[in-house]
Amino acid sequence: MNSSKKIGSALISVYHKDHLEPVVRKLHQLGVILYTTGGTQEFIQKLGIPVVSVDSVTEYPEIFGGRVKTLHPKIFGGILNRRSNEQDVAEMKKHHIPAIDLVVVDLYPFEETVASGADEQSIIEKIDIGGISLIRAAAKNHRDVLIIPSRDHYSFLQNILENQHGSSSLEDRRLMAAHAFNISSHYDTAIFQYFNSSGEVKVFKQSIQQARSLRYGENPHQQGTFYGNPEDFFEQLHGKEISYNNLLDMDAAVSLLSDFNETTFAILKHNNACGIASRTDLTDAWKDALAADPVSAFGGVLIANRPINKKTAEEIGNLFFEILVAPAFDDDAMAVLKQKKNRILLRQKSNVVSAKQFRSILNGVVEQDRDVKAETSSEMKTVTNCIPSEVQLADLEFANKIVKHTKSNAIVLVKNKQLLASGTGQTSRVDALQQAIHKALNFHFDLNGAVMASDAFFPFPDCVEIAHRAGIRAIIQPGGSVKDQDSVDYCNQHDLAMVMTGTRHFKH
């Protein structure tokens, strides 16, 4: 059985008219009968091309200001009839229903209208009813009908008209049916999200139209795909293709630095900061960030919240790194950094990240609000007799921001707005602290007068005791343990300052 179908008639009903003219002219050249409505009809007639109005077929006018145009048995019968079904053919003849072989639709711009901040009535009017119904009907009957569900697919249709003489294969029609249901489901998801903005209907619905195949996933034997448009967030100025692991580090880097307003430089490895410092001068911030762990910095992801100048670029250029993210790059800095062809240089265009986070687990998905809370010194409650100094409060706030973005269990040691060391991803908070102390001493830092941040409470005073023996003089933690007082008592006995925030920052 020949699955090729010649286009003899087409229904065209589109919102956007751009790029439509060459398609219409080619259809007319091939002798295709054109059925149209409203604005589309006016557009095609102005081109001097004859059309058949839908209301002349249905013998019923458009009503309710154009809300009802194509919703009629003679239109949907022309699309949904099965050409090989004798009963369908007989009913078509009996009711004088014209066959429609091609449906071209471009939906009302619902998402764009919502994004524009329009009032609710304007948004409601951009919920397409007839167009979405035409798309679904034509896609359902793809064995006989070709659907072009958006202007993005005009080139596909143009190829059929020019290179296949207006005949589509079953494979062509089935592919377009898949695109059609993708568009209709995405459209409906956007409408649902608008009406369910409060989240009262508890279902998981997400739809992202852009997709980028990655070289591989977390490891070479795993396939990887990024769904989204990174170009909305970054402009890649130089370097190799971005990988799955690069994307994870980029997300962690942007999230981390979004909590810092001062001139700050950070170095990340496997989603954790291995170096970060705030200084008045960007080059000094870089040097002090690197000093925290120059070994782990090798092959890391770097991020700054100020433009990269030549002086800083020359310092950075001495290190092998994967990615450098910054809001801008001076021209002479670019000349320095581009000397290595694989270095990925990204200009950050936006700080706006998704308010929700999702993770696939077991046979489902968990969703949570992104942790955007960053406690300031005014939100810290001093619980000890010893009150932290202004310098200590600034360091405690700095450390607390870092520990929030560090894999749990996490301990962070800070002095003069410089990360000295961190203990990351340990099963024991004591182990995390000992790891941090060991690293700090290994890189010759003096911990006397430093501060400590913990992502969760201390169930016992052991961490406080160990930190004190190492030279720590002030501690920040969320509190909440039934044995909080044990840690407070130790601090009071040894003249340590402790503040509590009341907010835990686990990160798994």
Residue 333 main-chain phi, psi, to 5 deg: -70, -40
Pair 450, 414: CB distance under 8 Å: yes
Per-residue CA distances from 229 to 3, 27, 209, 287 (Å):
37, 34, 9, 33
- Angle, CA of 292, 296 and 297, to the nearest 5°: 75
Closest CA to 31 of 50, 8, 10: 8
From 17, 140, 238, 494, the catalytic residue: 140
CA distance linking residue 203 with residue 217, whole number of Å: 28
Tokens 């450390």 belong to residue? 399
Per-residue CA distances from 318 to 7, 250, 466 (Å):
64, 21, 37
Handedness of CA 344, 213, 138, 203 (dihedral sign): negative
Stretch (H or E) spanning 246 = helix 244-257
From 270, 310, 338, 494, the catalytic residue: 270
Per-residue CA distances from 487 to 303, 368, 424 (Å):
36, 31, 22
Written as one string, the DSSP assignment of 283-328 is HHHHHHHHHT-TTTTTTEEEEESS-B-HHHHHHHTTS-EEEEEES-
Quote the tokens at residue 358: 């999702």
Three-state SS sequence of 415-479? CCCEEEEEECCCCCHHHHHHHHHHHHHHCCCCCCCCEEEECCCCCCCHHHHHHHHHCCCEEEECC
Stretch (H or E) spanning 104 = strand 102-106
CA distance linking residue 359 with residue 339, whole number of Å: 38
Cα 94 versus chain centre, distance: 53
Indicate if 140 belongs to the active site: yes
CA distance linking residue 10 with residue 250, whole number of Å: 47
Handedness of CA 31, 32, 37, 43 (dihedral sign): negative
CA distance linking residue 250 with residue 247, whole number of Å: 5
Closest CA to 180 of 155, 219, 205, 148: 148
Neighbours of 57 (CB within 10 A): 19
| Residue type, position 399, single letter | A
Within 13 A of 458's CA, how many CA atoms are on the CB side?
Answer: 30
Indicate if 270 belongs to the active site: yes
Could you give the residue numbers annotated as active site? 140, 270
